[in-house]
Copies of this chain bind each other. A is one copy, B any other.
Amino acid sequence: MAVKPPTGSVTIEDVAREAGVSRAAVSKVIRNAYGVSPAMKARVSEAIEKLGYRPSVSARGMRGATFTVGFEIPELSNPFFPKLLAGATAAMSGSPYQLIIAPADPAHAEGYRAIQALVDRQVDGVIAVSPLVDPEWLEALAATVPVVMIGRHDRSVAYDTVVGDDEAGAGQVMRHLLDLGHKDIVHLTPAAGMIGVDSGVPQAIRLDVYRRAMQDADLGDRIRVVRTGNGESESRRAALQLLAEPDRPTAVFAAHDEPALGVLHAVADAGLTPAEVSVAGYDDIEIAAHPGISLTTVNQDGERMGRLAAELLLERIAGRSAPRHEVVRPELVVRTSTRPPRPRGGAARLRALGRT
């Protein structure tokens, strides 16, 4: 067996008695602090081993560090988030720090509660993915404990950030669609309530880029934004309605891969294929590469983002106070869900003629 079985509650006191030394001595050994003779270290280590002693993190937390970092995350269902976690876990793997994850219960005040729960547990640092929490609140938080935020475009001096270049990523998607010849491009994005007013959440930026790209291509009058929840099923429903309209769009740019999957689903449900309606997403979740899906999307390298966040946090914990803001360059991945638009007959063509 790799590990000793957990033994009821052996305290530092027990170890001290067993080794015939003081509590302080044992404490020194386990922290390998200065002032320990090899002989004593050996005796104490032996006692620890024999009794299966494990220091209580709670007791430790009362004075010093807990060697725990907290990762707050909204919904695990979107496969992009586990990528962040995987990256962070890997980066943390060598360090003495343990990662614990607090899921933000969507039923409760989005993020706040989960982050609070971590802080209450005396974590030595926090990584969070809550784009909606108030900047001032975060500043106050960051004054208490090192904080790294993922996916925020604001630049506080109090906390670090890791974020993808959504401007560039969304720009690439729009250029791609426009280059293919699409003009009726709909943007699918989370409901307004889910995007803070100019909070700089990624979705808000993607939306903005969409609008500007359409304007710049002289398609300002064809701008159309559909709001829907995250998750496949909601977006599928929304897309079904959209596709049933007489002059349906020729392309849909979804703010994330999950809703994009919903749109693809709807396209299939409506008896259509990407040849009729192109679909693009954002994140490049693993399944997007599957031949049955083959979704054009933007790769953000979530693992790298998670790794970066963990590294920044460890630096902060180690003492750095100057803020750092890392931007990860995204990359368009073209697959078969986006194709040139097919010329259509009837109403759409007439409308197009009437306009030009």
Contact = CB atoms under 8 A, between A and B. Distances in A.
Interface of A: 1-3, 5-9, 54-62, 66, 68, 76-77, 79, 82-83, 85-86, 89-90, 93, 98-103, 105, 107-109, 112-113, 116-117, 119-122, 134, 136-137, 140-141, 143-144, 232, 261, 264-265, 268-269, 286-287, 290-294
A119 B9 CA distance: 11
Contact of A93 (B54, B105, B291): B105
A140 B232 contact: no
Among A2, A7, A136, find the residue whose CB has the most chain B CB atoms closer than 10 A: A2
Nearest to A119: B6
A323 to B, nearest CB: 19
23 contacts: A3-B113, A5-B136, A5-B137, A5-B140, A6-B144, A7-B140, A56-B122, A58-B60, A58-B61, A58-B121, A76-B76, A76-B82, A77-B83, A89-B103, A90-B107, A93-B107, A93-B108, A100-B100, A100-B117, A261-B287, A268-B291, A268-B292, A292-B294
Contacts of A264: 290, 292
Nearest to A107: B93
A294 B265 CA distance: 11
A299 B18 CA distance: 53
Contact of A293 (B57, B286, B292): B292
Contacts of A86: 76-77
A121 B68 contact: yes
Given A62-B58, A137-B3, A265-B290, A121 B100 contact: yes
A141 to B, nearest CB: 5
Contacts of A1: 134, 136-137
Contact of A291 (B113, B121, B141, B265): B265
B290 A56 contact: no
Nearest to A268: B291
A86 to B, nearest CB: 7
Contacts of A121: 57-58, 66, 68, 100, 121
A309 to B, nearest CB: 15
Closest 4 A/B residue pairs (Cβ): A292-B292, A5-B140, A58-B61, A76-B82
A132 to B, nearest CB: 10
A58 B98 CA distance: 16
A109 B269 contact: no
A180 B107 CA distance: 45
A277 to B, nearest CB: 14
